[in-house]
Structure 1
Amino acid sequence: NVSFVIHDIEAQSAEIQTKLMREVEVIDLKRFKVMNNSIYQKLS
């Protein structure tokens, strides 16, 4: 019974990690777009 609880906690932490990874990816994408825009404006 205890091992089942531990497994459940591991599954939850894995879910949280993937959610965090997705959020980080989105933030990085936004930063990348902002960087691209500023470079584009400097060139033009």
Structure 2
Amino acid sequence: MAEPEKADGAFYGALPASGEALREHAAAPRRQPHADPLP
């Protein structure tokens, strides 16, 4: 069977693996082109 970390990595491929990087990713502003405010 695949390890939980590998399974999570496959599902959350865009998320960093390390805790510090994960925190930085969560703290960084998320880019959502489809969520741009209307003029």
State the TM-score, normalizing by the size of structure 2.
0.30
RCO greater where, 1 or 2, for CA within 8 Å and sep 6 or more? 2
Find the structure with the greater CA-based Rg: 1
Q: If each structure's helix is expressed as a fraction of its own residues, which one has the higher value?
A: 1
